[in-house]
Amino acid sequence: MRDNRCSEPEPASWLTDKSNVTVNDTHREFHYSVTIQTDDLALLGCLRALSQHAQATGNARIPWGGTKKQDWERDRHHATFHFTSTTYRDDFLHHARRLLPEKMWRVTEQSDDDPASPQTA
């Protein structure tokens, strides 16, 4: 026997898929930034790991977004890390100073109003 009931059409995916909104809203929360200059690619890798460690809540990969080798080279050996609080940014800098030779890197800028940008693959 055939079911002749009308079913509700599925809503368009862009109405129910909140991933874009969430990503953009989430990235906006990461607006405490610090820019670091280093000429050492290995040290940049350490900074990336430390930023992930310091961001104790939320998406811990967002802080180091946009710091890949090609980004670092394009930005003349500068990398900007983004955090959701000054506490996480301060923790990042504390651990960097504690673990990494300061003669190999330096802070060039800090901002409390510099939201992270979503990164593409």
Cα 114 → chain centroid: 11
Evaluate whether residue 10 is within a structural domain: no
79 CB neighbour count, 10 Å cutoff: 22
Evaluate whether residue 13 is within a structural domain: no
pLDDT at 26: 85
pLDDT at 4: 55
For the cut 60, the answer to whether the pLDDT of residue 90 exceeds it is yes
Type of residue at 51: S
Sort strands 32-37 and 78-83 into parallel, antiparallel or unpaired. antiparallel
Q: What digits encode the pLDDT tens for the residues 20-55?
A: 444 477 899 999 999 999 999 999 999 999 999 999
pLDDT at 119: 85
Evaluate whether residue 121 is within a structural domain: no
Calculate Rg over the CA atoms of the chain.
20
For the cut 60, the answer to whether the pLDDT of residue 3 exceeds it is no
Number of residues assigned to the chain: 121
Evaluate whether residue 74 is within a structural domain: yes
Evaluate whether residue 68 is within a structural domain: yes
pLDDT at 79: 98
Query: For the chain, how many structural domains are there in total?
Result: 1
Evaluate whether residue 103 is within a structural domain: yes
Q: Which of 52, 41, 36, 33 is nearest to 105 (CA)?
A: 36
Evaluate whether residue 72 is within a structural domain: yes
Which residue range is the domain that position 106 belongs to? 28-111
Evaluate whether residue 117 is within a structural domain: no
Token digits of residue 73: 């080279």
For the cut 70, the answer to whether the pLDDT of residue 105 exceeds it is yes
User: Which residues have CB under 8 Å from 118's CB, separation 6+?
Assistant: 23, 24, 27, 65
Q: What digits encode the pLDDT tens for the residues 58-75?
A: 999 999 999 999 999 999
Q: In 3-state terms, what secondary structure has residue 46?
A: helix
Residue corresponding to tokens 């953009």? 24
pLDDT at 120: 75
